[in-house]
Amino acid sequence: MKTTQTKSFFWTQLLTTALLGALLGILLIVLSVSFLLKVIFVVMGIMTILSAIPMLAFGLSNLSDRAGRMSFAFSLLSILMGIVMIFWHSDILLIIVGVYFLIFPIVEILAARDRAARAKSELPKMILGVVLLLLGPARTLDILFDVAGYVVLGLTALSVLISLITYFTSKKKQATATGNRIFVDRDGDGTIDAVFVDRTYDADANAASNDREKQ
């Protein structure tokens, strides 16, 4: 019963992963840029606001300190940018977001105590900002969405393939399991000359091997 449930769960999970991955990849490639742009900006705006809340709380509790005032100002700017991204979608906003993702992380790095650690965390934003500014809004979106779609499809196919290989390899190992082995010295010469296999675990040897094994 446990094996059946495990098998059913595996195939359900595999099918769900394959369908969701394929659907997401196809949508990224097929859907219009304008629609995807609105969705992405709303998500980015919400994430920007949420990520600014801890910095806002720190700034409010340390307004007497220069670092606290800077955190408070930057958090307000981030919240404002998040609101803009949620409610205003245009090509101009892409340029603004590109500048924001390029300049704001640099300011954060310069203001941080551990600049190296901060640089690592802010690097993805800076790369996105550079891409948006260098390639241009429309072309950038087409490229990014198409590439993202194909990457999602490729990763989904790879994940499914690895899962199948792992599953069938595991099943093959289970199929070749020896079960309870019964060793017999039939001629009394001190060596095992018969190995019986109890695959049903009922103490009844229902298979045999002629391999001789040292005691």
Banded model confidence at residue 126, pLDDT cuts 50, 70, 90: confident
Spatial strand order of the sheet with 207-209 comes to 180-184, 194-198, 207-209
Pairwise pLDDT comparison (74 vs 111), residue with the higher score: 74
Give the separation between CA 133 and CA 101, rounded to whole angstroms: 10
Task: Name the helix (H) or strand (E) containing 150.
Answer: helix 137-175
Q: pLDDT value at position 130?
A: 78
Q: Does 52 have pLDDT greater than 60?
A: yes
Q: What is the pLDDT of residue 139?
A: 59
Place of tokens 């659907």: 23
Please check whether residue 140 is in contact with residue 94, taking contact to mean a CB–CB distance below 8 angstroms: yes
pTM as predicted: 0.44
For every residue of 151-169, DSSP letters joined together read HHHHHHHHHHHHHHHHHHH
Chain centroid to CA 63: how far? Answer: 38
pLDDT of residue 176: 54
- pLDDT over 60 (residue 5): no
Higher pLDDT, 190 or 123: 123
pLDDT band for position 210 (50/70/90)? very low
pLDDT value of position 42: 86
Q: What is the pLDDT of residues 129-158, one digit of tens each?
A: 777 776 555 656 677 778 888 988 998 898
Rounded distance between C-alpha atoms, residue 96 and residue 98, angstroms = 5
Sequential DSSP letters for 37-102: HHHHHHHHHHHHHHHHHHHHHHHHHTTTSHHHHHHHHHHHHHHHHHHHHHH--SHHHHHHHHHHHH
- Cα separation, 125 vs 119, in Å, equals 10
- pLDDT digits over 8-32, tens only? 777 888 888 889 888 888 888 888 7
Give residue-wise pLDDT tens across range 80-101: 888 888 887 666 777 777 888 8
Most confident option among 33-37, 84-88, 151-155, 178-182: 151-155
When mean pLDDT is compared over 88-97, 99-108, 152-161, 198-207, the highest value belongs to: 152-161
d(CA 58, CA 56): 5
Contact 182, 195 (CB under 8 A): yes
Q: Which residues, listed in sequence order, are joined to residue 213 by a DSSP beta bridge?
A: 192
pLDDT, average across residues 118-129: 80
- Do residues 52 and 79 make contact, with C-beta atoms less than 8 angstroms apart? yes
pLDDT at 4: 47
Return the ∠ at Cα 107 (arms to 52 and 101), rounded to 5°: 65
- Radius of gyration of the CA atoms of the chain, in A: 30
Q: Which residue has the higher pLDDT, 105 or 203?
A: 105
